[in-house]
């Protein structure tokens, strides 16, 4: 049975996915997620994802941002031993870290398509907007798990850009809204 490929992430109301955790990630307004009132129920999607995640996938930039932090983070302990795929044409094998589960480098969308055809459960892509856009254009993403925050950021990296592409129909699987203004929207890609 083919594996499901899921993009999951935090998004501003105007579609920016850039630097949700900290200004050190590069956006001048970075750190917009922790500036929203924390309500555990608004983040329950992340706990649900843990139950179905069998592997993680990153682009090079996100891998380089997460790899120094996530292996020692108790918040991400459940991900520690899971297989990880890093999609990059430039990252070398010796640049991957040890002690964070098996790491496989993929060099193309064809390699990603091959992973999807393997047996196993869902593969989750955290962050990695550029990778997600290329996989979206290759019609490889099966679901979007979005937590949309009540902030307008203007400029910044976006998952959904204004470039020309064929229409993609989405089916709403689940949605919720929370008192802190966060919206949960889970969409399946309709094929």
DSSP collapsed to 3 states, 60-74: HHHHHHHCCCHHHCH
Evaluated on CA atoms 160, 175, 182, 63, the torsion sign reads: negative
Q: For tokens 């996989």, name the residue.
A: 135
Percent of the chain past pLDDT 70, that is, above it, reads 99
Decide if 33 contacts 153 (C-beta within 8 A): no
Q: Which of 3, 58, 56, 16 is nearest to 149 (CA)?
A: 16
Please give the pLDDT value at position 27. 82
pLDDT of residue 180 exceeding 70: yes
- How many whole angstroms separate alpha carbon 140 and alpha carbon 49? 19
Q: What is the average pLDDT score of the chain?
A: 92
Residues 6+ apart with CB under 8 A from 64: none
Alpha-carbon distance 157 to 97, whole Å? 26
Phi, psi of 173, rounded to the nearest 5 degrees: -90, -40
Q: What is the pLDDT of residues 117-134, one digit of tens each?
A: 999 999 999 989 999 999
Q: Residue ranges per domain, the chain?
A: 5-189
Better-scored residue on pLDDT, 37 or 127: 37
Answer whether residue 70 shows pLDDT above 80.
Answer: yes
pTM, two decimals, is: 0.92
Give me the pLDDT at residue 176, please.
Answer: 98
- pLDDT above 70 for 1: no
CA atoms within 13 A on the CB side of 113: 10
Look up the CATH architecture of domain 5-189: 3-Layer(aba) Sandwich (3.40)
């Amino acid at each position: 049975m083919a594996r499901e490929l899921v993009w999951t992430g935090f998004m501003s109301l105007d579609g920016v996915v850039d630097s949700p955790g900290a200004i050190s990630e590069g956006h001048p307004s970075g750190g917009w997620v922790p500036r929203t009132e924390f309500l555990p129920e608004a983040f329950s999607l992340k706990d649900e994802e843990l139950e179905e995640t069998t592997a993680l996938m990153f682009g090079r930039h996100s891998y380089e941002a997460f790899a120094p932090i996530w292996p020692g983070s108790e918040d991400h302990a459940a991900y520690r031993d899971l297989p990880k795929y890093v999609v990059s044409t430039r990252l070398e094998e010796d640049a991957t870290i040890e002690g964070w589960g098996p790491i496989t480098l993929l060099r193309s969308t064809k390699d990603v398509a091959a992973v999807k055809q393997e047996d196993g459960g869902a593969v989750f892509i955290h962050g990695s907007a550029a990778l997600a856009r290329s996989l979206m254009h290759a019609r490889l993403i099966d679901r979007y798990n979005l937590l949309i925050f009540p902030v307008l950021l203007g400029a910044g990296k976006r998952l959904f850009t204004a470039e020309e592409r064929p229409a993609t129909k989405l089916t709403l699987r689940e949605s919720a809204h929370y008192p802190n203004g966060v919206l949960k929207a889970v969409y399946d890609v309709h094929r």
